[in-house]
Structure 1
Amino acid sequence: MQIITSLAFVAALCSTVFTAPSPLLSKRTSPNEPPPVIDLGYARIQGYLNSTDSQYWYKGIRYASADRFQAPRTPAQHTSVVYNATAYGPICWQAAEGSTTLEGKPPVANFTIGAQSEDCLYLNVNAPAGSCEGSNLPVLVWIHGGGYAAGSAAKGSDFASFITNAGGNIVVVEIQYRLGPFGFLAGQETADFGALNAGLLDQQFALQWVQQHISKFGGNPSHVTIWGESAGAGSVLNQIIANGGNTQKALGLKQPLFQAAIGSSVFLPTQVSYNSPIAEGIYQSLAAFVGCSNSSQASFPCLQATDAATLAYAGLNLSEAAPTGYWTYVPVIEGDSGFLQKRASLLLDQGSKNLNGQKFLGINNQDEGYIFTDMSIKNDTTTNQTQLSSQFNKLLAGLFPLFTAEQIQAVASQYPVSDAPTTGNTFTRISNVIADSTFVCPTYWTAEAFGSNAYKGIFDYGAATHGSDVAWYQGMIWNGKHSVTAENSFAGAFEGFVQSYNPNNNPATNINPYWADFTSGEQLLFNTTTRNTLSEADPSIVKTSSIMVFGTTQMTKCDFWRGKISVNAGL
């Protein structure tokens, strides 16, 4: 944020106070004036009026500071000047997905420093023009995806069009959090001298910031929905189960951090204990890469003192060296007094009374696993059963390093060659394994945990691969690539949920059939008349029991993944 040199904006103070709270913005100051100065206690900021969207934009607001591998804290006080919140803050250091193929093709690290920084705990706020304290608008908090290794709340990530499409009555907050080894370094040394799951603590701190400050932007802190896609949705899941499902009590808060949650492709990679051999191996590999294993000082202080770019380069290389589809730096289980106390499937099984939040909307894409599957075998045409078995076993062992030989065979039996296409047998089998275990089933389990307070849907526009849904609600959604009916059918359901916790209250269209809660056994399939995304919307209701995967129902596959195999799968 840059310092404003002129104080001419002072006259634009927002003075409107409603006589009664309203979920919609019914009275505003002049939308043609710039936004008021916001006093955060530790800093004073002013955004700007984006007249094109008729919105107030506040970019690059620092919500926390943090020393390396430590928990976030309130920033130092700087209230003598007003900061111009008109530019995005630097993004967090980026890592990557594993990219070593079955052929052993070595990954090539593409390392560009750019605007990356260790000082990256910034957020952005979009609010309708004229909104101010007393507007009491529904609040959406967006947590970006990227496998806990990549992503940001920078250019192109805004929800300006989404807000406009909803009728201009939502306040949106987008947050950044530490990634890769900066946010998710585990091991006993980190537990003893630092903070485990630091990236998740960043998110939680940002949610506390929202509770404390969002009313100053016109938002209602008692009407907050958190939403994320992929690892952002995994983050939503982790906030739902955080602190044993009772963050309000654990942190001594006056009210919950959020009331509702949306998970788009809930990402659940292998969860292991913070001091497991896997976690310790990742820690030691990082220390060795940057020369801290042979340092005269202990490894943790050495890692703390290592140049940030050097540490980031190590994290990028080590994460890319993992097998394709594997994520190295991810949340870990801390135990009974920690942020994540048990595996997600176990905590979700406790039911909605033991979870943070009251309402949930879950969406998975039709083809979640494709982009994470080893492309070196995509066009493989072998029919040799021994070779097919070897391919599958090796790839599965790379994705789930704790699996025994018997467990690998159990998975192989669930995804048999006989039920795969003739061409690309192993590719299709592994793609479905990744989809079910890592994205689809965690979305189902979360919806099931909330029961009658949950809605579950399926995105099937275009190729419907993982992440392809984001362009329908984030950034320039009206980009000439979406039909009006398809856009409003899908994005409008989210807009309705954010506004009223009910996706049937779609403010953009009435084209969707009635969407019953998850206990009905029904889901809403977001489809179009053809695979072209410019074709018209064709939404329909599907029976959960009718969704088939490799010869059995989707729910049967999900029951398998949270059965005995869930322990070594880390689910």
Structure 2
Amino acid sequence: MRSNILPLAATLVGLLGASGTVASRCKPPPTPTPTVLLRAGTVIGAADHGVEYFRGIPYAQPPTGSLRLKPPVRLQKFNNGSVQATGLGPACPQSTAVDITPLLLEVLSLPEAADTLFFGSATGDVTEDCLTISVMRPKGTKAYAKLPVLFWIYGGGFEAGSPQMYNGSVLIPESVAQGKPMILVSVNYRLGAFGFLGGKEVLADGAANLGLLDQRLGLEWVADNIAAFGGDPDAVTIWGQSAGAVSVFDQLALFDGNNKYKGRPLFRGAIMNSGSITPTEPVDGVKAQGIFDTVLEAAGCAASGANAAKLECLRAVDFETFYNASNSVPGYLTDNSLAFSYSPRPDGRILTASPEVLAQTGKYAAVPTIIGNQENEGTVFALFQSNITTEADLISYLHAVFFRNATREEVASLVATYPANPDSPAGVGASDSTYPEFKRLAAILGDWEYTFMARLLLESFPSKVPAWAYESTYASGTPILGTYHSTDIPRLYYKTDPVSTAIQDLYISFVNSLDPNKYKRGTPSSGYLTHWPRWQEKKQSLELGANSTRLIDVNTRAASYEYIRANLETLRL
């Protein structure tokens, strides 16, 4: 059964609000009224519990009408000379598709899952005119205070998500308590067909990877404006989760690693949570072309004639028509899962090659980096299939949905490297609650998109560039899911228990010093942490457990990793 994600998301937001973990912090009161003067005009914000919020500041002209499916255009002046940045800000148009399976419904009854599974979904104003940026800073920060900046890129499969649910109500006060105050910035970027439509027509028009260009323009906005908010444009760390983490690597690799603007680097560090490199076909490849053709047909533009005319037709249709056309292809919360309909793809200019090639050839800005995953990344994405009961069924599914460039025999060889009932999630055996191939599919999806790609990227890092790796296991007791994709987000943004505070302190230390180990000692959280050596020192990850941390070797499923690494060219999306 396929349904609309927004009612589910609204229900979950209601749950969060009832528990007092999120909703109580989302709308700061209107007074006092901090203001910041920029070249574009005056930004009027709000303050709450030691944090000043400036949310929904436009950084580009509205990408509507003739600017739809075009690279973002820098905004020079605010309308009427000022912006009321006191609410949550808008969200970009979202994917609405979700397959409601019995297994998903069972998982939604779990308290932990209800709090996180659709976390970050848009809850307020959703509009095509969405290219805005939000700035959050410690209360009383003065202009040109030169605080370090953490630049957040949200996840959501390049189809959903917004900055609305991510704020600095915990991170910023914790940074102040650590004596390392910082500024948090969050950027909106176009999603779905609005931001990641492919096809030969898109390539010829120079309209590929628009969502990445939105993010890059947001970084340029920070370079031009963050000093007025008290931030240091030379001390920016880019941070993302899931599709946001994939975007972080893409920002490292944009233009073959050129991250400079006006002669200065746009960022000096990077954090990737549950995502890094995704092997993909070109923007004019078979899969992307099929998506374009489907969207074109759904928008009523298939008979438009020449390539340029097809795009002009898509720009001319009304918003509702294009929005529905964008959602006419499978979503990432459906049986399609991580075989994204929309994704950054090589276009020869913005991304010159598939991301794993750029990583292996060193064509990226190599900056100090934190990178890691949840132990059971794939379980969430295996919730949306229910009829995979045999190994042959699993091979057919992977071949038809994910690895169409590979032969069936090659997919079968990949599956053969996984036991029939892998210990993933750890300690969760096969049961009537799942389907027979659930755990093996979960292991393959989590490895291919997350765990193995992080390992591949770590192995590409030059020895002189520090990197730190982690793996989270703190929710290993969660039924069916284990420590699943997105369990880290509430711990980073809203929880204040010792585990959450410890992880926050690692990140705050990194943002300030490019070393996660320089957190304040003698606090309850510091008793949880052990020293975190660079990846290059021991080739080990920091395991973030429920009660303590330890160093672990990163060699899980070595045969599967070697097979995927050796066959990346045929295993691209």
Amino acid at match of 2:43: I
Any conservation in 2 of the 1:190–1:300 contact (CA below 8 Å)? yes
Contact 2:379 2:442 in 1 (8 A): yes
Q: Distance in 1 between matches of 2:159 and 2:265?
A: 28
Q: Deviations over 1:250-287 (max 9, x none)?
A: xx632111000000001544511111121111111101
Pair 291,201 (structure 1): closer, same or farther in 2 beyond 3 Å: same
Q: Specify the SS of the correspondent of 1:117.
A: coil
Q: Percent identity?
A: 27
How far apart, in 1, do the equivalents of 2:421 and 2:44 lie? 62
Answering whether residue 168 of structure 2 is matched by residue 159 of structure 1, we say yes
TM-score, normalization by structure 1: 0.81
Residue in 1 that maps onto 2:486: 467
* Greater Cα radius of gyration, structure 1 or 2: 1
Q: CA deviation at 1:458?
A: 0.7
**Contact 1:361–1:447 (CA under 8 A) maintained in structure 2:** no
Separation (CA, whole Å) in 1 of partners of 2:97 and 2:358: 26
The number of residue pairs the alignment matches comes to: 494
Give SS of 1:566's match: coil
- Determine whether 1:175 maps to 2:187: yes
CA contact (8 A) 2:100 2:384 kept: no
Query: Is 1:501 matched up with 2:511?
Result: no
1-structure distance, mates of 2:384, 2:162 = 26
Moved more, 324-333 or 222-231: 324-333
Deviation, structure 1 residue 194:
4.3
User: Structure 2: how far apart are the matches of 1:176 and 1:413?
Assistant: 41
Task: Give the conservation status (yes or no) of the 8 Å contact 1:229–1:263.
Answer: yes
Q: For residue 291 of structure 1, what is the aligned residue in structure 2?
A: 300
- Partners of 1:98 and 1:323 within 8 A in 2: no
Q: What is the DSSP-based 3-state SS (H/G/I as helix, E as strand, rest coil) of the residue aligned with 1:226?
A: strand
The counterpart of 2:43, out of the listed 45, 63, 85, is 45
Q: Is the 8 A contact 2:375 2:472 kept in 1?
A: yes
**Cα pair 2:421 2:440 within 8 Å, conserved:** no
Could you tell me how far apart the structure 1 residues matched to 2:128 and 2:80 are?
A: 25
Does the 8 Å contact 1:324/1:372 carry over to 2?
yes
Q: CA deviation at 1:245?
A: 1.4
1:508-527 CA distance string (max 9 Å, x none): 63221110001212211110
Instruction: Say if 1:187 and 1:222 are closer, same or farther in 2 by CA, change over 3 A.
Output: same
Counterpart code for 2:512: Q
| Root-mean-square deviation over aligned CA pairs | 2.7
Q: Deviations over 1:308-335 (max 9, x none)?
A: 1221122223123762442101111112
Unaligned runs of 5+ in 2: 1-30, 104-120, 424-428, 476-481
- When residues 419 and 94 of structure 1 are mapped into structure 2, their CA distance, relative to the original with a 3 A threshold, is closer
Deviations 1:426-466 (A, max 9, x none): 21111111101101122223333334510000111213100
Aligned to 1:24: none
**In structure 1, distance between residues paired with 2:323 and 2:80:** 34
Among candidates 48, 52, 56, match of residue 52 of structure 2: 56
- Is contact 1:97-1:147 (8 Å) kept? no
**Secondary structure of the corresponding residue to residue 177 of structure 1:** coil
Asked if the contact 2:279–2:354 (Cα under 8 Å) also holds between the matched residues in 1, the reply is no
2:57/2:83 contact within 8 Å kept:
no
Taking structure 2 as the reference length, the TM-score comes to 0.81
Q: Which amino acid aligns with 2:88?
A: Y
Question: 1:407-433 deviations in whole A, cap 9, x for unaligned?
Answer: 212212222427576655421111111
Supply the distance in 2 between the matched residues of 1:210 and 1:114 (Cα, whole angstroms): 24
1:417 match: secondary structure: coil
Q: Do the aligned partners of 2:368 and 2:467 also contact (CA within 8 Å) in 1?
A: yes
1:337-369 alpha-carbon deviations (Å, 9 max, x no partner): x11111111111124xx4224200012001000
Runs of 5+ in structure 1 lacking a partner? 1-31, 104-110, 479-483, 529-536
* Contact 1:416-1:429 within 8 A present in 2 as well: yes
Name the counterpart of 1:71.
Answer: 71
Matches within 5 A, 1:62-141: 62-65=58-61, 66=63, 67-78=67-78, 81-95=81-95, 99=99, 115-141=125-151
2:300 matches 1:300? no
SS of equivalent to 1:496: helix
Q: Secondary structure at the match of 2:532?
A: coil
- Distance change in 2, residues 1:427/1:119 (3 Å): same
- 1:157-306 map, 5 Å: 157-167=166-176, 169-248=181-260, 253-266=262-275, 268-295=277-304, 298-306=309-317
In 2, Cα distance between the equivalents of 1:269 and 1:254? 29
Match of 2:3 in 1: none
- The answer to whether structure 1 residue 544 and structure 2 residue 554 are counterparts is yes
* Contact kept? 1:139, 1:498, Cα under 8 Å: yes
